[in-house]
């Protein structure tokens, strides 16, 4: 998919991820991102991230890569366990990583944590160099998910895990309708107030509505070569956690 052209060859469609659009959004909201997360999810985002850490099934000596790490909350949660040898957090927006690096100054753990700029679709790491790769609320923003799945497969050691936390599709229709109302009306209002950038939050919501449901994402992972693909719905399916293994 092109960086700047949408489905009709002109402007990107409302929820369409283009690298240019996504960079602009996250560079602009980096300083208010953590506050927005806590407010818009009523703090539940912390428990979603903790579930991601449990799914990573860390063991001593492991090297963990957290892609689309943003302001680093998943990277820190993984490192806080003090089990893995190292957690590397990457993101392609330096402004988001600047916030993570400021937080890292106040963070101590047995596990080393470092952050570096990298595009999740073109990872600057050797083949088979990580035991676990995690991504929270990142794959939805990638124009080319298949490229990301191929890259994660490449950098994982055989038997390594890919854990994906992402907004998803609540299976219970009335709940889903309420959630979609919240997405369309409440989220842009909160985001607009905090950042004065309401259009970015309209994009974020539309990107959630466009994102494949649980079985479709699982099928994409299988097509990329991953095995033992499964998912777990969190908060009634507002979020799903897919886990898969490099064969
Ligand atoms: C919604 S934030 C999630 C941040 C963090 N994982 C969390 O759970 O709070 C999505 C992040 O993905 C990053 N991102 C989007 N596209 C990317 C790409 N192609 N490569 C690397 N990072 C990307 C954005 O810059 C942003 O920081």
55 lines ligand 1 (CB under 6 A): no
**Total number of domains in the chain:** 1
Position 8 in a domain: no
At 188-201, the pLDDT tens digits run 888 888 878 787 77
72 lines ligand 1 (CB under 6 A): no
Position 51 in a domain: yes
221 CB neighbour count, 10 Å cutoff: 24
26 lines ligand 1 (CB under 6 A): yes
Q: Give the distance (Å) from ligand 1 centre to CA of residue 96.
A: 8
Position 6 in a domain: no
Find where tokens 């909160």 sit.
190
Range of the domain at 88: 19-246
Q: What is the per-residue pLDDT for 9?
A: 44
Position 105 in a domain: yes
Q: Please say if the pLDDT value at position 10 is more than 80.
A: no
227 CB neighbour count, 10 Å cutoff: 11
Encoded tokens for 235: 């908060």
Q: Please say if the pLDDT value at position 11 is more than 80.
A: no
At 118-175, the pLDDT tens digits run 999 999 999 999 999 999 999 999 999 999 999 999 999 999 999 999 999 999 999 9
Position 196 in a domain: yes
Position 11 in a domain: no
Question: 243: burial class by Cβ within 10 Å (0-12, 13-18, 19+)?
Answer: buried
165 lines ligand 1 (CB under 6 A): no
Q: Domain of 130: which CATH number?
A: 3.40.50.150
127 phi/psi in degrees, rounded to 5: -60, 145
Atom of ligand 1 nearest to the CA of 120: 20
Average pLDDT over residues 5-27: 70
66 lines ligand 1 (CB under 6 A): no
Position 226 in a domain: yes
Q: What is the per-residue pLDDT for 34?
A: 92
DSSP 8-state class, residue 13:
P
Q: Please say if the pLDDT value at position 13 is more than 80.
A: no
Q: Give the distance (Å) from ligand 1 centre to CA of residue 90.
A: 9
* Listed residue (53, 81, 41) closest to 165, CA to CA: 53
At 85-124, the pLDDT tens digits run 999 999 999 999 999 999 999 999 999 999 999 999 999 9
At 183-239, the pLDDT tens digits run 888 888 888 888 787 877 788 888 998 999 999 999 999 999 999 999 999 999 999
**From CA 134, how far away is CA 68, in angstroms rounded?**
9
Q: What is the per-residue pLDDT for 242?
A: 98
H or E stretch including 241?
A: strand 239-246
163 lines ligand 1 (CB under 6 A): no
Position 109 in a domain: yes
One-character DSSP codes across 193-223: HHHS-HHHHHHHHHHHHHS--HHHHHHHHHH
Instruction: Name every residue whose Cβ is closer than 8 Å to that of residue 155 and which is 6 or more positions away in sequence.
Output: 65, 123, 125, 126, 127, 128, 129, 130, 133
């Amino acid at each position: 998919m092109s960086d700047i052209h949408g489905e009709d060859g002109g402007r990107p469609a409302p929820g369409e991820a283009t690298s240019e659009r996504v960079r602009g959004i996250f560079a602009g909201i980096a300083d208010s991102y953590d506050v927005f997360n806590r407010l818009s999810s009523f703090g539940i985002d912390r428990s979603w991230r903790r579930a991601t850490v449990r799914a990573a099934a860390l063991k001593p000596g492991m090297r963990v890569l957290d892609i689309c790490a943003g302001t680093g909350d998943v990277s820190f949660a993984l490192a806080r366990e003090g089990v893995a040898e190292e957690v590397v957090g990457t993101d392609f927006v330096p402004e988001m990583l600047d916030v993570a690096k400021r937080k890292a100054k106040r963070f101590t753990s047995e596990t080393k944590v470092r952050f570096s700029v990298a595009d999740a679709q073109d990872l600057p790491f050797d083949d088979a160099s990580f035991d676990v790769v995690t991504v929270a609320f990142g794959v939805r923003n990638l124009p080319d998910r298949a490229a990301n799945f191929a890259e994660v497969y490449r950098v994982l050691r055989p038997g390594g895990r890919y854990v994906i936390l992402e907004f998803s599709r609540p299976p219970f229709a009335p709940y889903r309708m309420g959630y979609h109302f919240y997405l369309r009306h409440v989220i842009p209002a909160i985001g607009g107030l905090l950042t004065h950038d309401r259009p970015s939050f309209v994009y974020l919501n539309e990107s959630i509505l466009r994102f494949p449901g649980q079985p479709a994402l699982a099928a994409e992972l299988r097509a990329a070569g991953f095995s033992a693909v499964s998912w777990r719905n969190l908060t009634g399916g507002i979020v799903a956690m897919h886990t898969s293994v490099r064969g």
